[in-house]
A = this chain, B = another copy of it.
Amino acid sequence: MLKYQQIAAEIEKYIEDNALQQGDKLPVLETLMAQFEVSKSTITKSLDLLEKKGVVFQVRGSGIFVRRHKRKGYISLLSNQGFKENLEDFNITSEVIELEVRKPTKEVALALNIELNEDVYYIKRVRYINGQTLCLEESFYNKSIITYLNKEIASESIFYYIREGLGLKVGFSDMYLHVDKLNEEEAKYLGLKKGEPKLYVETLFHLTNGQPFDFSKVTYNYEQSQFFIQTNSQFL
């Protein structure tokens, strides 16, 4: 683990262990430099990382402060991976409805940047949170990257398997979302009624090298899904 990641982790743990609240001040840069015995740039890099994660905010001329949000029970939309890891506080389970190798539709081929005659893993799951239906998920994995999948893996965390089992590095993703009304099939799987609201999210996941490997379409149960996003003012 790199120095700046290690230091970031320690600072985060310190905030957690001491239950620091929004606005609480952290030691000044010079102190942190001395404490961790690193240069200013390294500490700065650690703090920038924590700032991106929404853990602290830095104010020039003033100090470094803890950033916290108040509401619990919200799912972070930005954690670029399955929920399994994101929602450790919750009890997430999956029921695999379907898993097979098939040829992509035009839409899927375009998203995954593959030919129509290449193979994809198609997985359809219903995911549960604390026993309630959370969402219906259909995923398409590029089989030339995700070379093997089975029901056992799919009923656990696929992303964990991708990273630890296959040794792949998940990079960035593009999410498209809108609100609509449930159709008959979606309503059935989620235990709701046709015409009730849904949040519909399509996500294209890429490896760190830019290759798209997973295109997924998720329909959320509106009764169970509260989402949370932390924004930084990185856009001028």
Contact = CB atoms under 8 A, between A and B. Distances in A.
Interface in A72-116: 74, 77-81
A198 to B, nearest CB: 7
B180 A222 contact: yes
Contacts of A220: 179
Contacts of A5: 236
- Report the copy number of this chain in the oligomer: 2
Interface string A201-219: 0000010111000000000
Nearest to A76: B235
A54 B175 CA distance: 12
A22 B204 CA distance: 13
A179 B198 contact: yes
26 contacts: A22-B210, A49-B234, A53-B235, A54-B172, A57-B171, A57-B208, A57-B210, A59-B209, A67-B172, A77-B229, A78-B229, A78-B231, A169-B233, A171-B232, A172-B233, A174-B228, A174-B229, A176-B227, A177-B229, A178-B227, A179-B179, A179-B198, A179-B225, A197-B198, A199-B199, A229-B229
Interface of A: 5, 22-23, 41, 49, 52-54, 57, 59, 62, 65, 67, 69, 71, 74, 77-81, 169-181, 196-199, 206, 208-210, 220, 222, 225-236
- The 3 A-B pairs of least Cβ separation, nearest first, read A197-B197, A179-B222, A175-B229
